Chain A
Amino acid sequence: MKYWISAILLVVLAAGTALSGMNEYFFFAGYVVLTFVVLATAWNILGGYAGYVNFGTAAFFGIGAYTATVLFKWLGAPLAVQIAGGALISGLLGFGVGLLTLRLRGIFFAIATVAVIFICETLMINWRYVGGATGLQLLRPEVLAPFETYTRMLFVLMALLAVGAVSIARYIQTSWFGRGLRAIRDSEEAAEASGVPTLKLKLFACTVSGMLMGAAGAPMPMYLSFIEPVSSFNLTYSVSALAMPMIGGTAHWIGPVIGALLLGSVQQIVTVTISNEINVLVVGVLLVLFVVLAPDGVIGLFKKWTRYFK
Chain B
Amino acid sequence: MDQILQVKGVSKHFGGFTALSDVSVDIVRGERFGLIGPNGSGKTTLINCISGALRNDGGSILFEGVEVSGLPAYKRTRRGIARSFQLPRPFHSMTVLENLLVPLEYVAHGKEEEVFDILRRIGLADKAHTQSNQLSQVELRKLELARAMAAKPRLLISDEAMAGLSGSEVDEVLKILLDLNATGITVIMIEHIMQAVMRFSQRVVCLDAGKIICEGTPASIVANPDVQRAYLGA
Residue ranges of A at the interface with B (Cβ–Cβ < 8 Å): 176, 179-180, 182-183, 185-187, 189-199, 251
**Inter-subunit contact B85/A189 (CB<8 Å):** yes
| Closest chain A residue, CB of each to CB of B98 | A179
Instruction: Tell whether, in the assembled complex, residue B53 and residue A196 are in contact, meaning their CB atoms are under 8 Å apart.
Output: no
- A102 shortest CB reach to chain B, Å: 14
Contact status B53-A193, CB under 8 Å: yes
Asked if B106 and A180 make an inter-chain contact with CB atoms under 8 angstroms apart, the answer reads yes
Contacts of A179 in B (CB 8 A): 94, 98, 101-102, 105
Minimum Cβ distance to chain B for residue A144 (Å)? 45
4 A-B pairs closest in CB distance: A195-B107, A195-B106, A190-B89, A186-B91
- B85–A195 touching, CB < 8 Å: no
B93 touches A187 (CB 8 A): no
A29 to chain B, nearest CB (A): 35
Q: List 7 A-B contacts (CB under 8 A).
A: A179-B94, A186-B93, A190-B89, A192-B53, A193-B53, A195-B106, A196-B106
Write the chain A residue with the least CB distance to B105: A176
CA distance A185 to B92 in the complex (A): 9
- The digit string for B81-121, where 1 denotes a CB below 8 A from any CB of A, is 01101000111111000100111011100000000000000
Most buried by B among A186, A191, A194: A194
Interchain nearest-CB distance for B190 vs A (Å): 15
CA distance A197 to B52 in the complex (A): 12
Residues of B within 8 A of A180 (CB): 102, 105-106
Secondary structure type dominating chain B contacts = helix
Q: A194–B93 contact, CB under 8 A?
A: no
Any chain A CB within 8 A of the CB of B60? no
Task: Looking at the assembled complex, report how far the CB atom of B11 sits from the nearest CB atom of chain A, in whole angstroms.
Answer: 22
For A195, the chain B residues whose CB sits under 8 A away are: 74, 77-78, 102-103, 106-107, 151
Interface residues of B in 134-153 (CB under 8 A from A): 147-148, 150-151
Q: Is B70 close to A, CB under 8 A? A: no
Rounded to whole angstroms, the CA-CA distance of A251 and B93 in the bound complex is 9
CB <8 Å contact, A193 and B77: yes
Note all chain A residues with C-beta closer than 8 A to B107: 194-195
Are A190 and B85 also in contact (CB < 8 A) when A195-B74, A197-B72, A198-B74 are?
Answer: yes
* Assembled-state Cα–Cα distance A145/B52 (Å): 60
User: From residue B108, how far is it (CB to closest CB) to chain A in Å?
Assistant: 8
- Max count, chain A CB within 10 A of own CB: residue among B94, B98, B102, B103: B102
The tally of residues in B whose CB lies under 8 Å from a CB in A reads: 29
Which residues of B sit under 8 angstroms from A192, Cβ to Cβ? 52-53, 72-74, 77
Neighbour of A191 across the interface among B52, B83, B102, B148, CB < 8 A = B102
Alpha-carbon gap, A191 to B94, bound state (A): 13
Q: Per a CB cutoff under 8 Å, which of A176, A189, A197 touches B89?
A: A189
Cα distance A186–B88 in the bound complex, in angstroms: 12
Asked if residues A176 and B106 are in contact (CB atoms below 8 Å), the reply is yes
* B contact residues around A198 at 8 Å (CB): 74
Q: In the complex, what residues of B have CB within 8 A of residue A196's CB?
A: 74, 102, 106
| Chain A residues with CB under 8 A of B69 | none
> Are A182 and B93 touching (Cβ within 8 A)?
yes
A195 to B101: give the CA distance in the assembly, Å.
11
**A194 engages B147 (CB within 8 Å):** yes
A190 CB → nearest B CB, Å: 4
Bound CA span A284–B52, Å: 42
Kindly state the separation between the CA atoms of A204 and B83 in the bound complex, as whole angstroms. 26
Does B91 lie within 8 Å of A189, measured CB to CB? no
| Structural contact, A193 and B83, CB atoms closer than 8 A | yes
Contact between chains at B151 and A194 (CB < 8 Å): yes
From A176, A182, A199, A251, B91 is in contact (CB under 8 Å) with A182
Q: How far is the CA of A194 from the CA of B149 in the complex (A)?
A: 10
Nearest chain A residue, comparing its CB with the CB of B144: A190
Q: Is B158 an interface residue (CB 8 A)?
A: no
Question: Taking the nearest CB of chain A, how far is it from the CB of B102, in angstroms?
Answer: 5
Contact yes or no, B72 A193, CB < 8 A? no
* A187 (CB) vs chain B CBs: closest residue: B89
List, in ascending order, chain A residues with CB within 8 A of B147's CB. 190, 194
B91 and A193 contacting across the interface, CB-CB below 8 Å: no
A176-B106, A195-B107, A251-B93 are known; give 12 further A-B pairs, CB within 8 A. A179-B98, A182-B93, A187-B92, A189-B53, A189-B85, A189-B89, A192-B74, A193-B73, A193-B74, A194-B150, A195-B151, A197-B75
Q: Chain A residues near B151: list those with CB within 8 A.
A: 194-195
Q: Is the CB of B74 within 8 A of A186?
A: no
Chain A's nearest CB lies how many Å from the CB of B105? Answer: 5
